[in-house]
Amino acid sequence: MRVPTAAVTAGSLIGGWQLARRTGNRPLGGAVLVAGGVLAGREWARRTSPAVTGALVATYVGAFGLSHPLAKRIGPWPSVLAVSALTAAVSYVAADRRR
């Protein structure tokens, strides 16, 4: 079964942020982020080359890092949605779509 990494990455970025925000427990939100990254990373490694997998991991981690300064400029919801959409799009193009 093919796991849709675009959905996993977007869902874990949004879900991890919401869980941390609603519970006040940032490590719990981070656990969701890590779980999503591990699941997506495993799928990327199965479907793509090591270089593409590395680039996708960097995109996912970078999106998380970018969301923080971006939230100060455009607000938290728009920031998380923007980086989640970007990460999902990159994951879809590089790993999910059928070739």
Run means of pLDDT, 10 residues per run, the chain, 99 residues: 93 97 96 97 96 97 95 96 97 89
- CA-CA distance, 54 to 25, in Å (whole number)? 29
Please tell me the predicted confidence (pLDDT) of residue 99.
Answer: 60
Burial class for 24, CB neighbours closer than 10 Å (0-12, 13-18, 19+): exposed
Record the tokens describing residue 56, joined without a space.
């996708």
- CA-CA distance, 78 to 83, in Å (whole number)? 9
Please tell me the predicted confidence (pLDDT) of residue 61.
Answer: 97
Please tell me the predicted confidence (pLDDT) of residue 2.
Answer: 84
Tabulate helix, strand, coil % of the chain (nearest 5): 90, 0, 10
pTM for this model (two decimals)? 0.92
